[in-house]
Amino acid sequence: MARVAVVGGGLVGLSTAVCISESVPQCSVTVLSEKFTPETTSDVAAGMLIPHPYPDMPIEQQKRWFQETFNYLLAICNSVEAADAGIQLLSGWQIFRTAPEQKVPFWADTVLGFRVMSEAELRRFPDYRFGQAFTTLKCDSRRYLRWLESRLKRDGGQLQARKIEDLWELCGQYDVIVNCSGLGARVLVGDLKLYPVRGQVLKVQAPWVMHFVRVDDGSTYIYPGMSGVTLGGTRQKNDWRLSVDASDTKDILSRCCALEPSLQRACEMSEWVGLRPCRSAIRMEKEVLQRGGYQLPVVHNYGHGGGGFSVHQGCAQEATRLVGELIAPTRGFFAKL
């Protein structure tokens, strides 16, 4: 029996743990995490499947991970599990003040029904000259995290609340470590390429809003979901504040109401803040750490920035393949993917 420890119990850690426990035969999976839902960055996310750019990653790879994630969640959405998992289809518009150079993005054939907006549709947004209409998927973050936790437990996986100061603490207890510590990897493995991008969002009740609206750079968005409408946002680089900023709230409300005036009648507002674990490329690789004659096989899967929901399953599958490769040479196991 191979013993796998996943460090990090946010979206990336849980989805990777589920994938490993379902694909790698004869292994036990334990998630070790300082925090679990509802206290992770993943809980704050709007959970929309719209790719976030990773400038130092090949587009083909970004496309594949998005496609794999989309297909996986679409199958859940089309199943009896959709409500429990918090997965829904959502249609709407991405709007631009001026038309972008590339009018058809690389993910256009992954989302459903992608097309350029008509003049009549654009009339709703008088300050915008160009737009794209499509249907994508949205995860209700908390429901999805709870669902992943229960799937893992059902498969025999374990969740342990524990902060790891050094990966070597785990040497001897586990055969492979999977590092899904998000922004925590900055300290845990000393990765200074990781930095926070602070995001504040509001959640309101406005059940009459049924389409999403996103301004092209992601600065302003309105995302209706299963438990309210998420209004965003902010993107404050290297800002570590986890406290709510009242001026951000005011600014978000004013930008969203300019796009959708009916939001002035929204009620039950709550304010949320999270730090996106940003990096120019997701760190997805295996390495074997060496110290004093001991070896510690590690798979890294972190640095998903503002797009973890959009690529998490593709990444979970890739990390699972790497775990299989680390286990296989000595134990004869392989990942069934």
Ligand X SMILES: Cc1cc2nc3c(=O)[nH]c(=O)nc-3n(C[C@H](O)[C@H](O)[C@H](O)COP(=O)(O)OP(=O)(O)OC[C@H]3O[C@@H](n4cnc5c(N)ncnc54)[C@H](O)[C@@H]3O)c2cc1C
Summarize as ranges the residues that interact with ligand X (CB under 6 A): 7-13, 32-35, 40-42, 44-48, 163-164, 180-184, 188, 199, 201, 233, 274, 276-277, 302, 304-310
CB-based burial label for 307 (10 Å; 0-12, 13-18, 19+): buried
Question: 11-23 and 141-154 helices cross at what angle (nearest 10)?
Answer: 30
Minimum CB–partner distance for residue 221 and ligand X (Å): 8
Helix (H, G, I), strand (E, B) or coil at 205: strand
Distance between CA atoms of residues 112 and 119, nearest Å: 20
- Residue 126 tokens read as 């008088």
The residues near 41 (Cβ < 8 Å, ≥ 6 apart) are 10, 182, 183, 274, 275, 276, 277
Minimum CB–partner distance for residue 208 and ligand X (Å): 22
Minimum CB–partner distance for residue 23 and ligand X (Å): 19
Q: What share of the chain is helix, strand, coil (3-state, %, to 5)?
A: 35, 30, 35
8: left (phi over 0), alpha (psi -120 to 50) or beta: left
Minimum CB–partner distance for residue 161 and ligand X (Å): 9
Minimum CB–partner distance for residue 12 and ligand X (Å): 3
Shorter beta-carbon distance to ligand X: residue 86 or 233: 233
Minimum CB–partner distance for residue 326 and ligand X (Å): 20
Shorter beta-carbon distance to ligand X: residue 39 or 109: 39
Shorter beta-carbon distance to ligand X: residue 122 or 234: 234
**Do residues 327 and 176 touch, judged by C-beta distance below 8 A?**
yes
Shorter beta-carbon distance to ligand X: residue 308 or 324: 308
The residues near 242 (Cβ < 8 Å, ≥ 6 apart) are 273, 274, 275
Shorter beta-carbon distance to ligand X: residue 107 or 128: 107
Shorter beta-carbon distance to ligand X: residue 164 or 229: 164
Shorter beta-carbon distance to ligand X: residue 277 or 333: 277
**Do residues 117 and 130 touch, judged by C-beta distance below 8 A?**
yes
**Which run of H or E residues covers position 302?**
strand 294-302
Tokens 């915008």 sit on residue = 128
Q: Facing residues of 203 across strands?
A: 230, 270
Minimum CB–partner distance for residue 70 and ligand X (Å): 11
Shorter beta-carbon distance to ligand X: residue 35 or 255: 35
Minimum CB–partner distance for residue 214 and ligand X (Å): 9
Q: How far apart are the first and last CA of the chain?
A: 19
